[in-house]
Amino acid sequence: MINKEHLDYFTSIVGEENIKYDKAHLIAYCYDATRERFEPDAVVFPRDEQDISKILKYCNEHKIVIVPRGAGSGFTGGALPSNGGIILSLERHMNKLLEIDMENMVGVVQPGLINMEFQKAVEEVGLFYPPDPASEDYSTLGGNVSENAGGMRAAKYGITKDYVVALRAVLPNGDIIVAGKKTIKDVAGYNTAGILIASEGTLAIITEITLKLIPKPKFKQTYMGIFPDVNKAMNAVFKSLAAGANPVAMEFLDALVIKALKQKFPQVELPENAGGVLVGDVDGSSQAEIDSQLATLKESFAKYGSIDFIEARDEDHGKQLWFARRNASPATMIYGTKKLNEDISVPRSKLPEALDGIYAIGEKYGFNVPCFGHAGDGNIHVNVMVKDKTNEKEMHDGHKAIEDIFQFVVDMGGTLSGEHGIGLSKAPFMNIAFTDAEINLFKNIKKAFDPNNILNPFKMGL
């Protein structure tokens, strides 16, 4: 437990205005997007890296739990203080864009900077930062790195790990380390930055991030393919990519999502015979490149059963086409009062098989399972819809359906999460995806960084 002596010490480091332990703050920082609740003992807002170093050193000596937090927008409980302790919030002070290095095409940021703010800043100077999680308007770059966030542009441009050049971080004992350099090549020593990416705040507190930037594409256009069923759409995904298509995004909606969208948002324009939809963007350095990409997609989609192919007339029309995908998640709530949503990922060629199996598991337990997501990179957002969340049997069966889906996906070479991470909610299923030897390796890495287990303990089952 944290006592007055501890609180006084933290106050001496950050000042009274940067430590809160009143009930309102404890409640405000006790939950994330999972809506699970665990109250911390205090919330501390460090001003800089030195504050973090002093706090961690003290906590390590006194065995006080520290949980780093950005925007608290995660879906798996990675920033929840499930064992009490201190919430170390990086949103208030450590949220600056430190540098845009035009010559080396990198940006240097603090972890509390919002993803979209960074995107806008670099685009103003003609550069581009592709990773765009759905939470880009409010999620922090530190959180994106800690969860290895993806996004809709991952089909062409990859995910957060593909853009992290270097990190500064504070270890649980207070030591400050640098992982990586601005150089394009760096093979000296272990890839420490790679270990910290996706570690969900369990190994160190990230204090500075150097991110790779690329030239901003000059042209972009939105497309939509309409299919009679989602199986044909899924076959068109990997077949069109194999044919040479290279879309920025290729998102899908299944028949249940389409039905929900039509009911929830009457203004959405989707044909009555639409059973599956693929929507996305293509970009490039010339209009000719755009036209070539669209022609490849149109031809491939038609070969695998599309009934229509729509090219956006302009930016506003593109936004209209994207409306359905961006509102897929809220629309699915017509099917129940509780959504058990997961973000499994499979090899793209297994998408048709994956959806068939997921629907079969839903039927086994009596649930609608609308699916949508990032078809271009094999990432499916699975939504087991529980009609009555107050019904204990329904909730039990819903969680059992999720467990069956995890096992099914892993058996076909997929994984538990494409972008949300493991955190608390998926920790019980780690043994499905990893062997005992692999989990022991994870635990040994955790112990090497954090022998006293003070930093975000028990996340990912560690």
Question: Residue 247 and residue 154: Cα distance in Å, rounded?
Answer: 10
Q: Which helix (H) or strand (E) holds 148?
A: none
Does position 233 have pLDDT exceeding 90, yes or no? yes
Does position 152 have pLDDT exceeding 80, yes or no? yes
Give ranges for CATH 3.30.70.2190 in the chain.
Answer: 219-332
What are the φ and ψ backbone dihedral angles of 264, each rounded to 5 degrees? -80, -35
Does position 269 have pLDDT exceeding 90, yes or no? no
Nearest to residue 156, comparing CAs of 282, 297, 285? 282
Does position 38 have pLDDT exceeding 80, yes or no? yes
How many CB atoms are located within 10 Å of the residue 8 CB? 10
Question: Residue 289 and residue 454: Cα distance in Å, rounded?
Answer: 52
Does position 1 have pLDDT exceeding 90, yes or no? no
How many CB atoms are located within 10 Å of the residue 155 CB? 26
Q: Are 436 and 454 in contact (CB under 8 A)?
A: no
| Domain spanning 219-332, CATH architecture | 2-Layer Sandwich (3.30)
Top-level class of domain 4-89: alpha beta
How many CB atoms are located within 10 Å of the residue 446 CB? 20
pLDDT tens-digit readout, 366-386 = 999 999 999 999 999 999 999
Q: Are 204 and 449 in contact (CB under 8 A)?
A: yes
Q: In the numeric block, which tokens belong to residue 89?
A: 């919030």
Q: Which helix (H) or strand (E) holds 86?
A: strand 86-89
Share of residues in the chain with pLDDT > 90 (%) = 95
Does position 272 have pLDDT exceeding 90, yes or no? no
CATH 3.40.50.720 fits 97-215, yes or no: no
Give ranges for CATH 3.30.43.10 in the chain.
Answer: 4-89
Entry field: residues in the chain: 462
Say whether 55 sits in a helix, a strand or coil. Answer: helix
Share of the chain residues as helix, strand and coil, in percent rounded to the nearest 5: 40, 20, 40
Q: How far is CA 110 from CA 90, 98, 185, 206, in A?
A: 9, 7, 23, 8
313 Cβ contact list (under 8 Å, min separation 6): none
Q: Are 86 and 59 in contact (CB under 8 A)?
A: yes
Identify the burial level of 83 via C-beta atoms within 10 angstroms of its C-beta, where 0-12 means exposed, 13-18 middle and 19 or more buried: middle
How many CB atoms are located within 10 Å of the residue 246 CB? 17
Question: Residue 16 and residue 22: Cα distance in Å, rounded?
Answer: 12
Q: Are 247 and 154 in contact (CB under 8 A)?
A: no
Confidence of residue 35 (pLDDT cuts 50, 70, 90): confident
Confidence of residue 13 (pLDDT cuts 50, 70, 90): very high
Q: How far is CA 272 from CA 94, 229, 275, 321, 386, in A?
A: 50, 12, 8, 16, 26
Give ranges for CATH 3.30.465.10 in the chain.
Answer: 97-215
Does position 121 have pLDDT exceeding 90, yes or no? yes
Q: How far is CA 315 from CA 122, 260, 281, 312, in A?
A: 21, 25, 11, 7
Q: Are 212 and 106 in contact (CB under 8 A)?
A: yes
Confidence of residue 421 (pLDDT cuts 50, 70, 90): very high
Mean pLDDT across 71-92: 96
What pLDDT score was predicted for residue 126? 97
Question: Residue 252 and residue 224: Cα distance in Å, rounded?
Answer: 10
